[in-house]
Amino acid sequence: MAGTRDIKGRIKAVGNIQRITKTMQMIATARFQAMQKRATEAQAYTQQISEVVSELAANLGEGGDVSHPLLSAPKPATGRQLVLVISSNRGLCGGYNANLLRTAMAQIKSGGQTDIEIVGKKASGYFKFAGVPVDKFHSHISDKPEYADVERLAEEYMQAFTEGKYDSVKVVYTAFVSMSRQQPRVQQLLPLEPPVATGGAEGVKADAGPMTVYDFSPEPQELLGELLPITVKTNLFQCFNEATVSEQLMRMVAMKAATDAAGKMQKSLKRRFNRARQASITTELSEIIAGAAALN
């Protein structure tokens, strides 16, 4: 009976684990849906800002001077880059952090002198274990990043870049490509890509109908000076949103896999329990029959 009691205890333990992983899966699913909606709404705003910047570039004309401190690296080059790594605060999300940190280390080693800033406790623990010095840990940014926190961070980066401290500012995060694909990505935040005019000659787009002609006030160059910093802020905020969506999705998948594995183990243990109980009953019956035979 000792064997059956042990198996029964394991069945109970596996059942408790299954209930926990199922609950975590449901929580991750709810958070994923909420963050996906938020990221989709923010992405629409980011795309609209990019379209407005392109329209402004088109109105400057082919010979227009689209210049801004955020569009070009400092001269002479400093040989330094700033890398922001966005990881998670919690584990149990599959290969989310492992893939991300592997990509981050490759980027750090490929550049020259690198200043590292991180978000998330998993990145903090990884770099501490690897003996890689971290310049700043942004512990105030939560699992649900607020735009105000990201805006202040973007302003710090823009100030440092325009003062000539860095040749580039890059963000390492996990991009949400689709429900079945989340890809670690290195995005250059600064300098920005120069805006490209979307319109062709005579106010006609190359792949569509006539282009709408806008009358800008103030002048396009002045508007660009206002919109380019907003572009940096929205791009960084979108990186945070996609990283959070990818984390919750990968945690949801990992917890579902754990729940299914616990269910399979529970079935296997129940079969073992039934066999052990049947063997115990058979042994007891054999002893009773043998004892009765001995009395005769």
CA distance 176 to 187: 13
Residue 13 located in a structural domain: no
Number of structural domains in the chain: 1
Q: Is the Cβ–Cβ distance between 149 and 141 less than 8 Å?
A: yes
45: confidence class by pLDDT, cuts 50, 70, 90? confident
DSSP code at position 193: P
Average pLDDT (83-88) is 96
Average pLDDT over residues 2-21: 90
* Res 1: pLDDT: 47
Going by C-alpha positions, the residue among 251, 231, 243 that lies closest to residue 39 is: 243
Residue 261 forms part of a structural domain: no
Q: What are phi and psi of 260, to 5 degrees?
A: -65, -40
Give yes or no for residue 130 having a pLDDT over 90.
yes
Q: How many CA atoms lie within 13 A of 186 on its CB side?
A: 17
Task: Please give the residue range of the domain that contains residue 69.
Answer: 27-252
- Mean pLDDT confidence for 205-216: 57
pLDDT digits (tens, 9 = 90+) for 20-44: 999 999 999 999 999 999 888 888 8
The pTM (predicted TM-score) of the whole model is 0.83
pLDDT tens for residues 89-126?
999 999 999 999 999 999 998 877 999 999 999 999 99
What contacts 24+ positions apart, CB below 8 Å, involve 209-212? 211/58
Residues near 262 by Cβ (< 8 Å), separated by ≥ 6?
14, 15, 17, 18, 21
- Which of 90, 80, 248, 101 is closest to 186 using CA atoms? 101
pLDDT confidence of residue 44: 86
Residue 120 lies in a domain: yes
SS3 per-residue string spanning 208-236: CCECCCCCCCCCHHHHHHHHHHHHHHHHH
Q: Is residue 46 part of a domain?
A: yes
pLDDT at 205: 45
Give the dihedral sign, CA 9/10/13/19: negative
Per residue in 151-190, pLDDT (tens digit) is 999 999 999 999 999 999 999 999 999 888 999 999 999 9
Contact status, residue 185 vs residue 192, Cβ threshold 8 Å: no
pLDDT band at residue 53 using 50, 70 and 90 as cut-offs: confident
pLDDT band at 293 (very low <50, low <70, confident <90, very high): confident
What CATH number corresponds to the domain at position 54?
Answer: 3.40.1380.10
CA distance 215 to 10: 73
Residue 73: which pLDDT band, with cuts at 50, 70 and 90?
A: confident
Q: Residue 196 pLDDT more than 80?
A: no
Q: Which tokens go with 236? A: 């960084």
Q: Are strands 80-86 and 113-119 parallel, antiparallel or unpaired?
A: parallel
**For position 14, what pLDDT does the model report?**
95
